[in-house]
Structure formats: structure tokens, C-alpha cells
Structure 1
Amino acid sequence: MNILFYAKGTAALPPHIVLEEIGAPYEVRRVDFAANEQQSSDYLEVNPRGRVPALVTPDGILTEAPAILTYLGQTNPEAGLIPSDPFTLARAQEFNSYVCATVHVAHAHRVRGHRWTDDAAAIESMKSKVAQNMTDCAEMMQNHFLRGEWVLGDNYSICDPYLFLACRWIIADGANIDDFPALRAHYDRMLARPAVAKVLPLHE
């Protein structure tokens, strides 16, 4: 059985949604960032980087949301959440990599500026750019990556919970998601999914 370590407001939300969509038994364990549990010796044995998500699987421990999403999709093919076609799978990886490497980093400049500098003025300067940077990310996701009702077109996939998280960040960071009607419609469709309704309260 898979065990997901998560914390509120983090990239653990998409794997949690996918675990619920799959329907196989799993457990979740909250890591309390306010109590600095991510730096405890017990948790650092799970993830030496002290971050979430981390997924304990029968095959070993995985970290980083794109890797976890891919693993869950490929080990549960009956759920139909990951493409079997190599090119479409590459497109899924392209999107998930963009969220991980660009959108997440842009968002982190508002809430975790201390990762880049100890200068308080520089941290405030970074924060002032976040809304615009997230607006730019929203434009890219709507106009380049979103290929239909779902990220990959007609079929819901491991990419859609990740876009849902990105939209939550867009809203929290002061960008106007209503300027991007395709993203807004996707966000509302995600809110209507039973799996999202079940896990979301644990992440807020």
C-alpha cells in the first residue's frame, strides 16, 4: 500500500487527488510545517530534502510530484490516467515539468523568498513580481498547454490535478484567473470531481 506524506498548501495535493481517483487503498500522513516536522530526523529519513510530497511505495520511496504522478499512473493503468502513446506521454511530462520547474518556482518567490536571499528588501522585491509572473504562467498554460476540456484534450489525466494546484496558486498569488476563462472552467470542473471534494479539506 502507498503512503503519501503531505502538508497543507503544497504540491502534495495532485498526488493525493490521483491516489483517490485510482481507488486503491492508501494512507496519508501529514507533515506539520508550522512545527518544523519536515526537518525532524524521522522525516528526513523519508525525504532528506525535508519537503513534500513523498510517497512510500512497495518499490521504495519517491519524491517530486511529477515522478510520483507518473508512477501512480503507470502502476494503475486500469484507471486510465496516463497516456500509453509515447508522444502524448511526453506531452504530459512536458506540462508537469513546466508546472514543477516554472509555475511552482514563480509561486515560491512569494512564500519562500528566503530560499534565494537573506535580504529582506530583496524578498519584498521578489514578492512584488509574483502576481505578474503568475499571470504570465496562466497565459502560457491556457494558450499553449491546455488542449481541450482537460490538459491533454478529451481525457482526464495525471496532468489535471497538477493544473488544478497551479490555478489555486494563481488565485492565491493575486493573479486574476477570470482573465483566463479556459483555466477557470477547468478549475471549476476539478472542484466538481468527488476525489477533489474528498481530499481538498485536508489541504486547506
Structure 2
Amino acid sequence: MRQDLTLYYAPGTCAQAVLIALHEAGAAFEAQRLNMAEGEQRAPAYLAINLKGRVPALVTPQGVLTETAALLLYVAQTHPDKQLAPLSDPFQLARMQEFNSFLASTVHISHAHRPRAARWADDEAAQKAMQAKVPQNMRDGFTLIEQHYLGDKTWVMGEQYTVADGYLFTMAGWLKSDSVDINEFPRVAAHYARVAARPAVQAALAQSARG
């Protein structure tokens, strides 16, 4: 099978959402795992692929793409038969992108202040203050997801599973490390269980665990 795509990822990062999307799409791809603890994301070989020194990065026949929300839309658009996004409805597609943007710009940043507080402050006391705020910020974000975005729907966009669901699943998996019990959000917890049960998600998680 031709493998026209190469995903650079690391377990425990937002790149997991793209790995899930590729499995859901049945895409032909190669996965390259980076050891973030050993700094492989800052190695010259990887910086030649992604100057940001972060994951994910997706090498395509047209060039390299970065940023999770962009990669998720790319996977959905290049595999339209899998219906991983409401591609024929501009409004609904924008709503999906609204949700994915909220995850990227608000929830992810809230989480990142715990393990990467040094990005925002050099002062140790300031870093500790930001880290102490993480549980509340994550609760605030997931309260909005629970009440506004999920509601009583099966999936983020309603009855159709999309790439937004794997993205939410990935970030909901960070709650425990941020000292937040996912069961504080029953709809999010139920959604997390539904996504986890999908064969493509199980395959993606197994691949990530194997390395």
C-alpha cells in the first residue's frame, strides 16, 4: 500500500487526535514517533521538517502541514467518503472549526500552563501561580463544552462522528493530569467512553503505545 503521508507525533500530545483521524479515515500513512523527553523535537533533522519544533507535523505530497486543527480538516477533506466533517455544509463546517479552534486556543493553552509554564514566565513564583490556576481553567473550559457544545448529542456535531470527537477525546484525557475528575462532566465522560470504544481509536492508541 502506498504511504503518501507521514505523521510526526508523540504520545500524550494533541497529535493523538490526528493519529486517530488517520485511522478513522483508513489512510495510508507512516507514523514517526518523537521522544519529547529526549528532545527529539528540537533535533536538526526534525526542525528541517517543522521549524516550530512541536508536534504534530504531517508530510503530504504537497508539503508539510502543522497545527492540529488544520491537519484534522485536511484528513477529512482528503477522505470525503468517510464523512469525518460536514464538508457540504459551510455553516456546520464552520461550527466544527469553531469547536476545534476553542480546543486549540483555550483548552490546550489552559492545560499547557501546567507542564510548560516556563513559556510564559521566567519567575518561579509566577510559574507556580499559573500552574495553580490550571485546574480551574480546565474546569471552566470543560463546563462550556459540557453545557454548550455537547449537550445531549451523541457526538460533537450531532449524530455524525467527526474529527472533532477524536480531538475532544484527546484533551479530555488530559483532565486527570490536571487534577480534574472527568466525572465532574458526565456528558464529556460518556463521550470519552464512546470514542474510546471505536475500533479506529483503539488501533490508534495501540499504535501509539507500541511506538
Q: TM-score category by the smaller chain?
A: over 0.9
Letter in 2 for 1:156: Y
Residue 71 of structure 1, CA deviation: 0.5
Matched, 1:21 2:42: no
The equivalent of 2:109 in structure 1 is: 105
Q: Aligned partners of 1:75, 1:92: CA distance in 2, in Å?
A: 17
Q: Aligned partners of 2:70, 2:196: CA distance in 1, in Å?
A: 24
Q: Aligned partners of 1:101, 1:24: CA distance in 2, in Å?
A: 27
Aligned 8 A contact 1:9 1:203 in 2? no
The TM-score with structure 2 as length reference comes to: 0.94
The equivalent of 1:81 in structure 2 is: 84
Which has the higher mean CA deviation after the structures are superposed, 17-26 or 193-202?
193-202
The correspondence for 2:187, drawn from 164, 182, 190, is 182
Q: Aligned partners of 1:34, 1:180: CA distance in 2, in Å?
A: 31
The count of residues paired between Structure 1 and Structure 2 equals 204
Please list the CA deviations of residues 84-133 of structure 1 after superposition, one character each: whole Å capped at 9, or x if unmatched.
20000000000000000000000000010010011111111111111111
The residue correspondences of 1:44-193 to structure 2 (distance < 5 A) are 44-83=47-86, 84-147=88-151, 148-193=153-198
In structure 1, stretches of 5+ residues that fail to align are: none
Which has the higher mean CA deviation after the structures are superposed, 146-155 or 93-102?
146-155
The TM-score with structure 1 as length reference comes to: 0.97
Identity %: 48
Letter in 2 for 1:42: A
Letter in 2 for 1:192: A
Residue 203 of structure 1, CA deviation: 4.2
Q: Aligned partners of 2:80, 2:192: CA distance in 1, in Å?
A: 25
Letter in 1 for 2:78: T
In structure 2, stretches of 5+ residues that fail to align are: none
Aligned-residue Cα RMSD (Å) equals 1.1
Residue 23 of structure 1, CA deviation: 0.8
Q: Aligned partners of 2:106, 2:135: CA distance in 1, in Å?
A: 14
Residue 202 of structure 1, CA deviation: 4.6
* Runs of 4+ that moved beyond 6 A: none
Residue 184 of structure 1, CA deviation: 0.5
Please list the CA deviations of residues 116-173 of structure 1 after superposition, one character each: whole Å capped at 9, or x if unmatched.
0111111111111111110111101111112511000110001000110121112221
The correspondence for 1:30, drawn from 29, 33, 50, is 33
The equivalent of 1:7 in structure 2 is: 10
